[in-house]
Amino acid sequence: MQIERLTPSTFATHRDALATLLIDAVEGGASVGFVLPISRETALAWVDGLAASVADGSRMIWLALDAGNALGSVQLELAMRQNGRNRAEVQKLMVMQTARRLGIARALMATAEDAAFSMQRGLLFLDTEAGSPAEAFYRALGWHYAGGLPEYACSPEGVWAANAIYYKTLFRRNAA
């Protein structure tokens, strides 16, 4: 398995793979912003909407690939405001249902964290569905629960659910 960062020049090559990952995640019950049924057109429109932020450098996307097949993906959206350039949001960690429990998500998260660290983004945050298996995964990686909001998002099945917000401090800018 290799992890490849998408660039403006490689983005279009992996357009279909990203759409397939999204469809698989939603059909597998992941709360990633979409509800069932999800069409290929909807997934492709979502992918197309990411191109500008990849091109301007405010978003990084990595794909986990095995023999050219996309097994997973994660995104890092950089805060671009002057007073927030110490942080980034981890988004859309997705692994194909057939490739779960193989360490792919862990490798993708490590890649995103390493990139954030190298860009002096010491505070990372994310949100996930409260009570989902993802919570235990993030805690196992050293992420800290910060709170949540009731009825934050609609699950793929159409149920309104609370979210759980997590953060991880890679380094501190000010001594405590």
In a domain, 113, yes or no: yes
DSSP label at 125?
E
Query: Is 157 inside any structural domain?
Result: no
In a domain, 14, yes or no: yes
Residue 154 resides in a domain: no
- CATH number of domain containing 17: 3.40.630.30
pLDDT in tens, the chain (176 residues): 999 999 999 999 999 999 999 999 999 999 999 999 999 999 999 999 999 999 999 999 999 999 999 999 999 999 999 999 999 999 999 999 999 999 999 999 999 999 999 999 999 999 999 999 999 999 999 999 999 999 999 999 999 999 999 999 999 888 66
Say which residues have a Cβ less than 8 Å from residue 96's Cβ, sequence separation at least 6. 21, 24, 70, 71, 72
In a domain, 18, yes or no: yes
In this structure, is the dihedral angle defined by the CA atoms of residues 125, 131, 133 and 137, taken in order, positive or negative? positive
> If DSSP codes are grouped into helix, strand and coil, which group holds residue 82?
helix
Residue 63 falls within a domain, yes or no?
yes
Q: How many domains does the chain divide into?
A: 1
Residue 81 within any structural domain of the chain: yes
Q: Is residue 131 situated within a structural domain?
A: no
pLDDT of residue 174: 81
For CA atoms 102, 138, 87, 154, the dihedral sign is positive
Looking at residue 136, its pLDDT comes to 98
- Domain with 75, as residue range(s), is 2-121
